[in-house]
């Protein structure tokens, strides 16, 4: 059978495509290329340019390729942008997800994997965030993800569509084989931005707030390497294919690093003592987001890249690759 990956030309989606191909799966990528890159889709996958909310197109792809599973990555993901333009986020992340889920039900899809976020927990305050905590998002981006989670839960009850929701913590790094990475020029991922500053692509690194209730006053996040994250999806897909029940899974390592911790590691790995400026905190940022990961590990997920210095080194290598590619 074949897997459909929506948003498979983007950062996380492209790593998922590589993971599936490495596992021997047939892969169809559906991406509108609004933020993804045609060149990030490997030749072994089939790229279809289009919208995940286009029900006629998705139905045709399912019929033509014998698709039995959908992995849904197509979404807008920038928190400040969601605050400034919430309706665009509800359209892209909720309305189009609803259309995709409806098509999945109509076409008898067996397994649906949804890309969610730890942002759904809001300011939960717990030292480790469990999947059983109440969701309480504090920004439109997080709300759009919760709404899609709820749609999947209700659809499962009504129609039997089995799903896995993966709540990501802070995704970072790049494929160690150099096949993919975070390629969006203005991406807001902290490690990517710090790597760009270290390599002279930006003038300074801006720390947004040092008055949080954390050991050094800056936000603490659980940084999960992108290939490890992709493998977590494969583990979840196998769980569903083997008859497992629908499930919600945190994707992180269970320990965090502060913004200042990350800056220190980037400076050490790059050998560059770049400028850091302190600014007031922005709205919508929880002080601490660290995963409780017993559930995903209980499915047999074993991360390979749980080392912040290695993750930073991958990010730096990818930024150099992008610069060389642009110059070529």
- The pLDDT value given to residue 328: 66
| Co-location of 11 and 157 in the same domain | yes
| Co-location of 267 and 167 in the same domain | no
| Co-location of 34 and 79 in the same domain | yes
3-class secondary-structure state, position 173: coil
- The pLDDT value given to residue 264: 98
Task: Give pLDDT tens digits for 299-323.
Answer: 999 999 999 999 999 999 999 999 9
| Co-location of 163 and 288 in the same domain | no
Q: What is the pTM of this model?
A: 0.95
Question: For the chain, how many structural domains are there in total?
Answer: 2
Number of neighbouring beta carbons within 10 Å of residue 213: 9
Number of neighbouring beta carbons within 10 Å of residue 155: 19
| Co-location of 148 and 258 in the same domain | no
In a domain, 271, yes or no: yes
In a domain, 179, yes or no: no
- The pLDDT value given to residue 318: 97
| φ/ψ of residue 157, rounded to 5 | -65, -40
Provide, for the chain, the percentages of residues in helix, strand and coil under a 3-state DSSP scheme, each rounded to the nearest 5: 40, 20, 40
- The pLDDT value given to residue 15: 98
Supply the range of the domain harboring residue 203: 190-221+254-327
In a domain, 156, yes or no: yes
| Co-location of 237 and 296 in the same domain | no
| Co-location of 145 and 276 in the same domain | no
| Co-location of 17 and 123 in the same domain | yes
| Co-location of 242 and 267 in the same domain | no
- The pLDDT value given to residue 123: 83
- Determine which helix (DSSP H) or strand (DSSP E) holds 207, and give its type and residue range: strand 205-208
- The pLDDT value given to residue 68: 97
As to burial, measured by CB atoms within 10 angstroms (0-12 exposed, 13-18 middle, 19+ buried), residue 201 is: middle
Task: Give pLDDT tens digits for 211-266.
Answer: 999 999 999 999 999 999 999 999 999 999 999 999 999 999 999 999 999 999 99
In a domain, 146, yes or no: yes
Using 70 as the pLDDT threshold, list the residues of the chain that sit under it: 284, 328
For the CA atoms of 96, 97, 102, 105, the dihedral, rounded to the nearest 10 degrees, stands at 150
Task: Give pLDDT tens digits for 147-163.
Answer: 999 999 999 999 999 99
In a domain, 185, yes or no: no
Catalytic residues: 141
Q: What is the CATH number of the domain that holds 107?
A: 3.40.50.720
In a domain, 32, yes or no: yes
Number of neighbouring beta carbons within 10 Å of residue 142: 24
| Co-location of 312 and 167 in the same domain | no
């Amino acid at each position: 059978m074949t897997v459909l990956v929506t948003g498979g030309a983007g950062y996380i989606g492209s790593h998922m495509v590589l993971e599936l191909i490495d596992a021997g799966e047939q892969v169809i990528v559906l991406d509108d290329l609004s933020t993804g890159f045609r060149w990030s889709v490997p030749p072994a996958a089939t790229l279809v340019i289009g919208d995940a909310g286009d029900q006629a197109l998705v139905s045709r792809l399912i019929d033509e390729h014998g698709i039995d599973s959908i992995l849904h990555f197509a979404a807008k993901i920038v928190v400040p942008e969601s605050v400034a333009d919430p309706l665009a986020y509800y359209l892209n992340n909720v309305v189009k997800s609803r259309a995709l889920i409806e098509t999945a039900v109509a076409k008898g899809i067996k397994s649906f994997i949804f890309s969610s976020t730890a942002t759904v927990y809001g300011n939960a305050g717990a030292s480790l965030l469990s999947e059983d905590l109440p969701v309480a998002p504090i920004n439109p981006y997080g709300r759009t993800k919760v709404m899609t989670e709820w749609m999947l839960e209700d659809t499962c009850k009504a129609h039997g569509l089995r799903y896995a929701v993966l709540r990501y913590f802070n995704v970072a790094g790049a494929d160690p084989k150099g096949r993919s990475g975070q390629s969006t020029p203005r991406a807001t991922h902290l490690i990517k931005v710090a790597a760009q500053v270290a390599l002279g692509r930006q003038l300074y690194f801006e720390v947004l707030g040092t008055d949080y209730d954390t050991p050094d006053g800056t936000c603490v996040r659980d940084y999960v390497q992108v290939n490890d994250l992709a493998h977590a999806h494969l583990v979840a897909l196998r769980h569903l294919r083997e008859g497992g029940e629908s499930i919600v899974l945190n994707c992180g390592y269970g320990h965090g690093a502060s913004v200042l911790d990350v800056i220190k590691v980037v400076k050490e790995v790059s050998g560059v003592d770049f400028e850091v400026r302190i600014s007031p905190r922005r709205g919508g940022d929880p002080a601490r987001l660290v995963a409780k990961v017993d559930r995903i590990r209980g499915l047999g997920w074993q991360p390979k890249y749980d080392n912040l210095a290695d993750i930073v080194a991958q990010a730096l290598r990818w930024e150099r690759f992008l610069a060389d590619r642009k110059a070529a």
